[in-house]
Amino acid sequence: MYPAYLQVTDIAGLIKGASQGEGLGNSFLSHIQAVDGMYHIVRAFDNDEVLHVDDSIDPDLDILAKTIISEEAVVRKAGGKFKMNPLFPSTVEKIRAKSKYLPLIAKWVTTHGGLPRDIIPFSVEFEENVYKMKKEGNEEGMIRFLEESKVKSRLEKIVTEAGEKEIRCWTVPRGCLAPQAAGAIHGDFERGFIKAEVCSYQDFHDLCEGGKSMGPIKAAGKYRQEGKTYVVQDGDIIHFQFT
Give pLDDT tens digits along the chain (243 positions).
Answer: 555 566 777 776 666 665 566 665 556 666 666 676 777 777 777 767 666 656 555 544 454 455 556 656 655 665 655 554 443 344 444 445 567 778 888 888 888 877 776 788 888 888 888 889 988 989 898 888 888 888 888 877 776 666 555 557 788 999 999 999 999 988 999 999 999 999 999 999 899 877 778 899 999 999 999 999 999 999 899 999 998
Q: What pTM value is reported for the model?
A: 0.43
Total number of domains in the chain:
2
3-state helix, strand, coil in the chain (%, to 5): 45, 10, 50
Are both 155 and 190 inside the same structural domain? no
- Residue 102 makes CB contacts below 8 A (sequence gap 6+) with 44, 92, 95, 96, 119, 121
Residue 218 forms part of a structural domain:
yes
CA distance 169 to 78: 28
- Domain hosting 205: range is 178-242
Are both 30 and 81 inside the same structural domain? yes
CA distance 8 to 174: 29
- Residue 147 makes CB contacts below 8 A (sequence gap 6+) with none
Domain-terminating residue out of 92, 126, 160: 160
Of the candidates 207, 208, 198, the one whose C-alpha atom is nearest the C-alpha of residue 237 is 198
